Structure 1
Amino acid sequence: MNIYDIAELAGVSIATVSRVVNDSPKVSEKTKEKVRRIMEEHHYTPNVFARGLGLNSMKTVGIICPDVSDAYMASAVAHLEKSLRCYGYDCILYCSGYAYEDKVEAVSLILQKRIDALILVGSNYAGDGGDQATEYIRSAAREIPVFLLNGYVRAPEVYCILADNYQAVYDAVTDLIEDGRKRILFLHDSTSYSALEKLRGYEEALGDNGFPVPDELKVFVRNNIEMVQSRLQEIFREKMPDFDAVVASDDGLAVGAVKYVRSKNLRIPEDVSIIGYNNSELSICCEPELSSIDSRGKELCETAVEYMMHYLSGHPIRHKKVVPCRLVKRNTTNF
């Protein structure tokens, strides 16, 4: 019997149970009596997590990301740490890697620390969003609230803060079509929730505008500039590229496309328009400078922390919050 079970039996949130444990004045006497009765009936002894979620907060949040050497992850961790510090909270950081077993182990280890809540950075933790791939997240949420950054899991006490990747790619592809582009290549490197939403935006934008969605224009390739060049060389061999635009799920992929297109002596954006994703430093380090979708990582992190503070203060929050992206237009597009 754990705090999640008690909350379910009482018909309240785990935060309410923890406030009953701490005799918080924010909970009515009627609710306190009901929760206490259920705890007594089931011989429930509150653990440190239940106590920490109430008045006697441990003022510490766990953060797990796959790889802090990744520029996007490093930036997200920095924004989260800064935002948490503004509320007087410390953080504990674990780097899990990308393997499923390593992610499960990292979550298990960090739950042994005295933390008020857990933030998982990146859609990789959600996998494809299926129950089997995300059971470790659901299990963690039975102990403490889990905030998932840019991934989606439908479960009690899991709160998802997402960039609107679907709409961003849908709009970018539609802009290219309105600019006269007819063969739009999509480069992607992952099957995570975020990546699948980008792919869905690409496919539905083509379909809604009356264009086919040919498999040969959906290229899965490792996010490495040289690998992208090599893969495109392999696909098109000695012939000229059979596309007039590129949308990539990451700036690294898009820069690889820029270098490949230039190696074919094609003009950018006159012959081929290219759009990247994340608006990273890479977008202004290449020539020509790259148009890129800004996934607004800073705003995502600040929103996640703000929501967490509302939750820990006893206020209700929505299960999912979607933050709109924006296209930053530079020299690889001319619309």
Structure 2
Amino acid sequence: MKKIALILGTNAGQADLITYLNSIGWETHACSNQRVGPGCDLADYFHLVNIVNLEEVKDLAVNIKADLVYSISSDIAITAATKVSEDLGLPRLLNSEILDLFNNKNLFRDFLNSNNIGNVVFKKIDNPDNLDWTIFPCVVKPVDSQGQRGVVLINNPEDLKLAVEKAIEISISKRAIIEEFLDGEEFSSNVIVQNGEILVNEISDRIVFDNNYFGLPKGHAIPPEYVDEQQITISKKYIKEIVNLLEIKDAVLYVQMKLSNGVPKIIEIAPRLDGCHIWRLIKIHRNLDLRKLVIDLCLNNKIDLQKNEIVKGRSILEFYHLPTVEKFSKEKLEKRSNLEFSEFRYSEGDNITPINGKLEVVGYSVRKK
């Protein structure tokens, strides 16, 4: 009998997971509050259900007799999937308490600083009239937004209050956080933990735009060139400390980091695979499919990494971008050659879905250098 998976969300990240599950013979169901995204048609069945309505998701999972409720690339979706799985006794990795810690930038920053894991000066704000902040440049964020939504770089005191007001407006809990600006290179790691042991800790460069599109990634690359062996050792030590402190047994983590005066600092951790398709970069470079490892973890299958290859050279994932207000057109995109893989999220003439409201990812490619 086929196993049945309910995937929360239908964006390009969920499409990656749906495609994998289809390839290994699962029956796939996807749900969203609107029929938008490639996952709608890739799944065997699509359901018009809002993923933030946990009771509706739970009812759907029961009705289709789901063996697994899961999601990648979305903090909101993996949180919903975890809570539903806890209630229904279905497989899940981390518990809701740890997810809530990772999802709250204020609580997570306090956790890191309290344990001397790359201290960063920060302040939680719920009243824009009482800022009391003197470090510039700084970064303003909603405490509970996903990815780069609402994240703003502030260079002078005159712009701070308005940025905080906007961050509070975006925030679900109506709180913002101000952090000191870390001015070094960015990098990240996809981490797989099984039975408390870190099996994969794949560090990659995070290539970003300049401050005109602050925080938005251009792409990712492995092996990393932004960090040296000592910085990699420190970063991996931080991740191991977090796993031990939180008594994490099985998990998929995406750890976003940055250098500050040459010292690694953790920006945030997402309890899921990233939303940037880095799994494909790793698969092309190392012949290691993180999607498979995710499902193996959920099913409690022992992971064996002995057969994985490491390819010499450097592999680079690069996004295709277009401004939010434009319609999709391949003619507007730069031509790329010598590609191992290329994919677009839109068809010619489609309206581009606003995500960050500035410059949107419309596809990506992977090449070897």
Place the TM-score, normalised by the shorter chain, in its bin.
0.3 to 0.5
TM-score (norm 1): 0.34
Higher gyration radius (CA): 1
Bigger relative contact order, structure 1 or 2 (CA pairs below 8 A, ≥6 apart) = 1
Return the structure number with greater strand share. 2
TM-score (norm 2): 0.31
